[in-house]
Amino acid sequence: MKAVGISSSGRKGAYSKIIVRDILDASGVTYEMIHLAELNIRGCLGCLKCTRTGTCVQKDDFGKIVDKIILADALVFGGGNYYGTLNAIGHAFWERTFSLRHKCAFPLAGKLGIAVGLDRDQEKKEATSFIEMMMRSNHMAVIATFTDPGHQQCYDCGCGHDCVVGNVYKHMGLTTRELAQANRPEEYGIEAQKKAKGIGKMLGSILENQR
């Protein structure tokens, strides 16, 4: 049994990478971790040439990644929310799966899927929902989703929090560093880690039972 983990974040220490890896480590199965930001994957051109062959005509890294997923039993995909949807790197990857759906081929059908989204809005879960939607559109079996706020960008920007909220705290006499330390929300805390590892154990159990 083998799984593929994918992170679409461009950050070196991205929470999507950490969470996906935590899930896969807890599963106990053999896996390969892939960081899309290190690859060349362009968006869909809408040329429709794939309708005849079921293969995208663009010569980049997409085909190699899809081949790895086709040979695997499960995919854990994580990415961040940029402007209300999955970030562009991840979006481009999922767009290209359009090439797999012609003549009812669906080579990813039946693969176990886990969607990991970094969404500040815990109700809308826009990035998480997008990943799940794309998995289901490829007829994958989504067994779990995981949502975490991820990086709190306003505490990392380095601009001195020159915004309405930041100026309120400045008026109170707090420095930027004090503001960050005193008010930074928890990022991927202990309870979230337990949940991620629980999902990983479930994945491992399902794959073990499929042997």
Domain identity same for 32 and 112: yes
Domain identity same for 12 and 45: yes
Per-residue pLDDT of the chain (211 residues; tens, 9 = 90+): 799 999 999 988 899 999 999 999 999 999 999 999 999 999 999 999 999 988 999 999 999 999 999 999 999 999 999 999 999 999 999 999 999 998 888 999 999 999 999 998 889 999 999 999 999 999 999 999 999 998 776 666 655 555 555 555 555 555 655 655 556 667 899 999 999 999 999 999 999 998 7
Domain identity same for 20 and 100: yes
Domain identity same for 39 and 72: yes
| Alpha carbon distance 76, 59 (integer Å) | 25
Domain identity same for 182 and 200: no
Q: Which domain holds residue 159?
A: 154-186
Domain identity same for 193 and 171: no
Domain identity same for 20 and 114: yes
The structural domain count of the chain equals 2
Domain identity same for 6 and 44: yes
The domain that holds 41 is classified in CATH as 3.40.50.360
Domain identity same for 136 and 158: no
